[in-house]
Structure 1
């Protein structure tokens, strides 16, 4: 979905002073309807027992808005939900149209009842360049964003947004939006095409004064399944979402993606020669990190191949996985607008045994940074048959480096690949420094394997900038068009570094 530039423009409205809305009408709420913890689950189960019914489209005049026209209308923060109250959250609602051709239902929950938030053009500001549009009963908001006092009292800053299909984003305090998460992924990378479930309705629980979190319930619908979701969202330097969900199958779900993350990777030092760009690198995230059930810590640098690539890392009861952004200096990107150095990483921690399956990485060719071309998710081995349901609970942390640190081996800081004048390729892998790194690097053992081609033994030297070890090796592909590499540093036979995995392709 091409939402990156649109969301960046909306971020300019993220700082809104706390105030009332004396001259504004405010949001209008509908009639009270009973609501409890099982309401969304019952609704999802009922819907799964019937055929899928698509939601109506909003009027064509809204769907035909151009990107520039869509930017001419915005929510007036003075009309935010709970504005002017002692509630610790503010909720802004987002206009329909452009990439969002269907409305979502939004409800406010308090004292055991839910009230729908009515669509109101009076809650928006717009310029005189915004065109005339039709107003009818199909209209509604396309999503919402959450704001709280993240850094300064009285200043409510945006920290999460739910908008489009089942997409949502989060950031830690002071960060810039980057990667997205989704409620569910179906048939990602499938030759027959991907299916995108939608969050069609939300219920927001009214927080108590002083609460540092907010609870959002969501109903998911698609031709293949329905789902009931609960998000407990706590903002901070690291934003934590506790996600509980149950999926109900309408058809057999054999290619299911749990806790999917979607990101952008255009280029870095492994493929710099393909892009004529003043910047050293362009990406929201640069690697997939996996803590597998066997206790290994795996680092897989991301790539932007010329053909679709799908990698499956088989596992049983994974401890966690996520998309990281390890280069954190401005000079790593030199981009004054995109601010890639301040984009968040996201980390998934299962809250129960997930059984056998695979962490799956999909890398899609891209020639511009507006395309989200990276997807990572957990794919369970067993399908979900019609009439059955699947429960899942996990933590989703957004922040600078949200992966657990306890007993973590040396992290990979950077990977670079380039040609050699005498033929072949040279690969350098920089590892961070650590208390266990010996002064004499000759004590380190090197594990280096490749699936094809010829590979040199490898050499470890100290990087004077990081003070950590650098592993360098050369390889010649020979007749191979695809090579899988595995490398690790060891000390006295024990693992010292993460396991570095890389797929090299000619295409």
Structure 2
């Protein structure tokens, strides 16, 4: 058995492992990995070969869950001795991934796939897999080995458990043709190199090779546990090369789940009041404007785009952190992390895009957000994007404006009067120091606009008694088959007091 020897791997050097079990690579640099990706883009895509596909298909969810990585096989990487464990392949993660360990000098060794790394029940079909099959991915553990705090598993997906040790939304290396009428591509990380940190505050650094039918890439990740704001931080440098023209290139993509919340509770039949990993898209535009777009569960796939130049940040956010609003004591949606993308360098013109897909349960991700550059994405094009992902409770608080704390929708009209047909009411609550001390006599003005619809008077904005909130209320009606695109904020004279609230809504609640 090799797990006892593997546990003493430090600084990229095997100790006591049989020579035939570990293959040493030539010294490598990240620049060399970038050049390798560039050269691969000039060659046709070759799909990965899955050894024993019929056998791997037998390792279903239940069988895969029974397979446990042995604690005494844990690898300790770099001077921080970061504990790393590996994922076994299965039906939902069949493609083998090569994993290497490298030292500060660049010497790298491939970690062999050995079944003895895992504790596998005697009746599990995984016991019949051939040696050397390949791992599905890996995770970095906390110092006591429980639990893991960051993992890379499946295609180009990775995620952390955020400030409250609860996994939720995921990030991806890249999104290709998401939300279009052509098939979406899912490029994957085919190989990883785990090594010592490249900056003083990092736990370790991770290099990854990306490959897909239309794209190749080299990625550098610097991962930090317990960042100053209370969550985790992932530094990303992505070098991308297009081997084919793509219609839509989604940079720094985030993937999440939204079923229903207080705004569209009628759309969910579960006993819990709200079910979602994220409740909104937040954006800090390059101009300084802050935007909030509540998520929704539409009846068909919808796409929202927010044009910008050099955005300061964007992310899928879980602002509602109150357990009482979820009542889920099993998976704790109130603890789910938010992910805030902080671009580095000049990203130029483009758009943040939000894709919403209908769902009738909580088991599938149905929300995607990413940056789409305006640059041509033709065969032979290359890109470099540097950014940070802050895994935190919520988006950074706006400095000069109040923020949205709740969005609710219901029947329009006035209670006690006959209810008008085809009219809905929207209620938006704001909170923040820019509203402190203001009242109805202060001159606060609500600004509300609609596309594909009409705003009906009265429009009202006022402080909610006994709270720190200001409430904006208005009725609207739909003027065509398309959803009503709503935009609203509060201002005092020429100064915006709140972030801009944006919503695509139907008059019939639960469709927007």
After TM superposition, the score normalised by the length of structure 2 is 0.89
The equivalent position to 1:240 in structure 2, one of 230, 233, 246, is 233
Deviation digits for residues 416-440 of structure 1 (CA, Å, limit 9, x no counterpart) = 1112460321111111142543332
1:244, CA displacement in angstroms?
0.5
> Are the aligned partners of 1:184 and 1:257 in contact in 2 as well (CA < 8 Å)?
yes
1:336, CA displacement in angstroms?
0.6
1:471 aligns with 2:463: no
Q: Residue 226 of structure 1 aligns with which residue?
A: 216
> Are the aligned partners of 2:272 and 2:328 in contact in 1 as well (CA < 8 Å)?
yes
Q: Secondary structure at the match of 1:252?
A: coil
1:209, CA displacement in angstroms?
13
Q: Residue 8 of structure 1 aligns with which residue?
A: none
CA distance in 1, matches of 2:132, 2:22: 17
CA distance in 2, matches of 1:132, 1:398: 34
Counterparts of 1:265-284 in structure 2, within 5 Å, are 265-284=258-277
> Are the aligned partners of 1:171 and 1:399 in contact in 2 as well (CA < 8 Å)?
no
> Are the aligned partners of 1:88 and 1:212 in contact in 2 as well (CA < 8 Å)?
no
1:479, CA displacement in angstroms?
4.4
1:148, CA displacement in angstroms?
2.8
Counterparts of 1:391-402 in structure 2, within 5 Å, are 391-401=384-394
CA distance in 2, matches of 1:160, 1:466: 38
Q: Is the deviation greater in 248-257 or in 456-465? A: 456-465
> Are the aligned partners of 1:61 and 1:133 in contact in 2 as well (CA < 8 Å)?
no
Counterparts of 1:303-314 in structure 2, within 5 Å, are 303-314=296-307
Counterparts of 1:88-127 in structure 2, within 5 Å, are 88-110=81-103, 111-127=105-121
CA distance in 2, matches of 1:467, 1:66: 50
1:328 aligns with 2:318: no
Q: Residue 427 of structure 1 aligns with which residue?
A: 426
1:486 aligns with 2:487: yes
Deviation digits for residues 281-323 of structure 1 (CA, Å, limit 9, x no counterpart) = 1000000001112221010000110111011111111111101
Q: Secondary structure at the match of 2:89?
A: coil
CA distance in 2, matches of 1:270, 1:103: 43
CA distance in 1, matches of 2:322, 2:277: 13
Q: Secondary structure at the match of 1:453?
A: strand
CA distance in 2, matches of 1:358, 1:192: 20
1:335, CA displacement in angstroms?
0.4
For these two proteins, the number of residue pairs brought into alignment is 481
Counterparts of 1:132-281 in structure 2, within 5 Å, are 133-136=127-130, 139-149=133-143, 154=144, 156-207=146-197, 212-236=202-226, 237-281=230-274
After TM superposition, the score normalised by the length of structure 1 is 0.90
Q: Secondary structure at the match of 2:56?
A: helix
1:134, CA displacement in angstroms?
3.2
Q: Residue 500 of structure 2 aligns with which residue?
A: 499
CA distance in 2, matches of 1:432, 1:246: 40
1:91, CA displacement in angstroms?
0.5
CA distance in 1, matches of 2:66, 2:162: 28
Unaligned runs of 5+ in 1: 1-18
Deviation digits for residues 338-380 of structure 1 (CA, Å, limit 9, x no counterpart) = 1000000001111111111110000000111001000000001
Unaligned runs of 5+ in 2: 1-5, 9-15, 413-417
Q: Residue 447 of structure 2 aligns with which residue?
A: 447
Q: Secondary structure at the match of 2:125?
A: coil
1:349 aligns with 2:349: no
CA distance in 2, matches of 1:363, 1:209: 37
1:300 aligns with 2:270: no
Q: Residue 418 of structure 1 aligns with which residue?
A: 410
Q: Label 1:86 to 1:232 Cα distance change in 2 as closer, same or farther (>3 A).
A: closer
